Amino acid sequence: MATIPEAPVAVSFRGVERHYGQVHAVDGVDLDIAPGEFFAMLGPSGSGKTTCLRLIAGFEQPTAGRIRIFGEEVEGVPAYRRPVNTVFQDYALFPHMNVLDNVCYGLRIRGMARGEREKLGRDALGLVKLSRMEARKPGQLSGGQRQRVALARALVLRPKVLLLDEPLGALDLKLREEMQGELKSLHKTIGLTFVFVTHDQGEALSMADRVAVFNNGRIVQVGAPEDIYERPRVRFVADFVGGSNIVEPDLVRAWTGKAGVASLRPEKIAVVPNDAESRAGAIEVDGTVAQILYQGPVKRIELATAGSVLVAAIPATAGPPLSEGDRVRAVFAASALHIMEGQ
Amino acid sequence: MTAAVFDIDAPRDGLLRRVSDVLLARRGFYLLLLLLPPLLWLGVVYLGSLFALLAESLFSIDDFSGVIIRQPTLATFAQLLQPANFDVIVRTIAIATTVTILAVIVAFPIAYYAARYARGRMKAAFYLLVMMPLWSSYLVKIYAWKLLLAKEGAIGWTMNEAGAGSLLDAVLALPVIGGPSLSTSYIGMVLVFLYLWIPFMVLPVQAALERVPVSLIEASGDLGAAPGQTFRTVILPLALPGVVAGAIFTFSLTLGDYIVPEIVGPSSLILGQVVYIQQGTAGNIPLAAAFAVVPIVIMGFLLTVAKRIGAFDAL
């Protein structure tokens, strides 16, 4: 994280802190977001990710540190002078204006003539596939439609950076998946820098080019979704992103001879009968099935083994039917164990 | 492993529970039961007496005998247009309008502070300070103001001591609103009305402002609006229903009041006083009733206009 890229940076944080009395909501964040990047800030609630977004937007000022947006220092610059726009978690549509007036609001503030701004507003509504709704009030729209209006309202101003605060949080699962795809393709079409905040690791992994994982006001890891998922740097990331088996050092040493804590993703573990033949190069652990959770495509199987509890995720239709109490064997490649930093 | 068996008796079937069963099964009956007392009150006591009064305005009075002629006529209403009576109406509307506009100007910052910034103790102090004047007698407050505003009263004395006596004299020398002293001028009357009705403006405006989510204000700033623009385009339109509600209070309370102008202000009458005199000493109930219709018509008109200009759109 210490390396400063040569290319122009869309958003950069250097030693940024934000304190509320004794609470350090953001506690020393360094960050570089590249232009045109789809960047996710992922973390549990209270991890400082939303505060970071609000610091970029200008709703909060840092207690310490520097923030630059496309090279320009933004200290003391109020939200209304920043070249960024936000899609709010609750959408924050103006209830006394219709959809088109909401979308054109920023253009109206900039003094654009009605005809011109309404043309741009209609284009933006077309972009989010909401063309026939322009005369409605926000109160007459569904959650998904409101979300699109909020998106159009921010995009119509052609911000240098688009900020999205839990943009899909209030939508139901089906709509959320649909919007994930749309946001991703929208990003590709318009090529803006997107920064979005989410507590949903699936959302972050599926949409973002890069993900920053937050915990306790700090970034614990930044990387491409594959990096974050396959090579978690610390225990928190392994556990928070996707859920993982954390293998303690003594077991790691026993299995591989290496030192350190390891992460072992559940889907990398196969479950076979305990009388199956040993496979060369694989690590094998005997255990008892403690619990089976059916999750549609996969079954999560909790295995009580001598050293620990292992969770395996196996295709729901694979293998012989298992039931609780069965004696089985967990099999995985030594390479599936990813050694992490720290304890 | 055996499942634990819980053996807890169901709640006993008392009379109240059985009544609840009946009420829940018959929603209409339940609603009727709830609404019957207020409907009786509104329908009979409240609206009934109002309509009885309004009916009186369609009668007229025999000028010689003073007897009420119980035949429907618009003659009494026509009397309202006589210069002396029409002056009263115009004067009253002017005073009520002034009081209302000043109340908005004074109350809005207070309400804004309370809604946006006051928390915890400050909020409690706000409610206390706004409501406290309502705890004491209306008459006591008016007389207190009369003393403050009198020629040798606290306000005049302080201004003289502070060397601003000539300023006060200059203000009192203004045509129409001036007078021999504050307590006998329209300035004094408007001040007292303003004092009396300010809680009725502060509270609805505060309630309306409180309902404006912070995220809307942030969104407006995010979209490029400076604080002043945000105030004009987002906060004010959303607070407007509260302002209109407050204005209904201050305006109609001023239209109907007859005690304040009796104690403070010049000797010219305003509407409430005329109603009081006509139905009392003058014994002209039809004319009193006709005057009483005036505020109702004005308020109906104002509400229609407010709705037309979209004051309630944010409701």
| DSSP per-residue codes, A168-190 | TTTS-HHHHHHHHHHHHHHHHHH
B226 to chain A: which residues are within 8 Å by CB?
78, 80
CA of A59 to nearest chain B CA: how many angstroms apart? Answer: 7
* Chain segment B272-297, per-residue pLDDT in tens: 898 898 888 878 888 999 998 899 89
CA dihedral (A245, A246, A250, A253) positive or negative: positive
Contact status of B136 with chain A (Cβ, < 8 Å): no
pLDDT at residue B5 is higher than 70: no
Residue A254's H or E segment, with its range, is helix A249-256
B213 to chain A: which residues are within 8 Å by CB?
90, 92
What percentage of residues in chain B have a pLDDT greater than 90? 39
Supply B89's token pair.
Answer: 């109406």
Task: Convert A302-333 to b/e letters by CB count within 10 Å (16 or more is b).
Answer: bbebeeeebbbbbeeeeeeeeeeebebbbbbe
What percentage of residues in chain B have a pLDDT greater than 70? 97
Q: Across all residues in chain B, what is the average pLDDT?
A: 88
A194 and A187 Cβ atoms separated by less than 8 Å: yes
What pLDDT is attached to residue A40? 96
CB contact under 8 A, A109 and B233: yes
User: In whole angstroms, what is the distance from residue A65 CA to residue A26 CA?
Assistant: 11
Pairing, β A84-87 against β A161-165:
parallel
What pLDDT is attached to residue A152? 94
Q: Which residue of chain B comes nearest to A79, CA vs CA?
A: B222
Residues of chain A with pLDDT under 50: 1
B238 to chain A: which residues are within 8 Å by CB?
95-96
Q: Which residue of chain B comes nearest to A162, CA vs CA?
A: B222
Q: What is the CA radius of gyration of chain A?
A: 24
Residues 109-168 on A with a CB inside 8 Å of B are: 109-110, 153-154, 157
Supply A244's token pair.
Answer: 């993982």
Which band of pLDDT confidence, cut at 50, 70 and 90, is reported for residue B313? low
* Chain segment B161-173, per-residue pLDDT in tens: 888 888 888 888 8
pLDDT at residue B28 is higher than 90: no
Please give the average per-residue pLDDT across B160-188, as a whole number.
87
CA dihedral (A61, A65, A66, A67) positive or negative: negative
Look at residues B162, B216, B92 and name the one whose alpha carbon lies nearest to residue A59. Answer: B216
For A99, half-sphere exposure in the C-beta direction (CA atoms, 13 angstrom radius) is 26
Other C-beta atoms closer than 10 Å to the C-beta of B19 total 10
Look at residues B263, B265, B276 and name the one whose alpha carbon lies nearest to residue B142. Answer: B263
Q: Which residue of chain A comes nearest to B223, CA vs CA?
A: A106
What pLDDT is attached to residue B180? 85
Other C-beta atoms closer than 10 Å to the C-beta of A77 total 15
What pLDDT is attached to residue A1? 47
CA of A79 to nearest chain B CA: how many angstroms apart? Answer: 5
User: In whole angstroms, what is the distance from residue B312 CA to residue B291 CA?
Assistant: 29
Q: State how far the alpha carbon of A180 is from the alpha carbons of A199, A202, A205, B172, in Å.
A: 14, 10, 11, 70
Give the nearest partner residue to B223 out of A89, A95, A157, using CB atoms: A157
B88 and B274 Cβ atoms separated by less than 8 Å: yes
In chain B, which ranges are continuous DSSP H helix? 15-25, 27-40, 47-56, 75-79, 83-116, 120-131, 138-149, 154-161, 165-172, 186-210, 214-222, 227-230, 236-256, 260-263, 271-279, 285-308
Spatial CB neighbours of A52, under 8 Å, sequence gap ≥ 6: A13, A16, A26, A29, A31, A41, A197, A214
Contact status of A279 with chain B (Cβ, < 8 Å): no
CA dihedral (B194, B197, B199, B202) positive or negative: negative
CB contact under 8 A, A96 and B237: yes
**Residue B43 DSSP symbol:** I
Long-range CB contact pairs, B247-250, < 8 A, 24+: B247/B100, B247/B103, B247/B104, B247/B201, B247/B302, B248/B299, B248/B302, B248/B303, B249/B197, B249/B200, B249/B201, B249/B204, B250/B96, B250/B99, B250/B100, B250/B103, B250/B193, B250/B197, B250/B200, B250/B201
* Chain segment A137-174, per-residue pLDDT in tens: 999 999 889 999 999 999 999 999 999 999 888 788 88
* Chain segment B209-236, per-residue pLDDT in tens: 999 999 999 999 999 999 999 999 999 9
Tell me the residue length of chain A: 343
Mutate which of B216, B222, B309 to disrupt the A interface (most A C-beta within 10 Å)?
B222
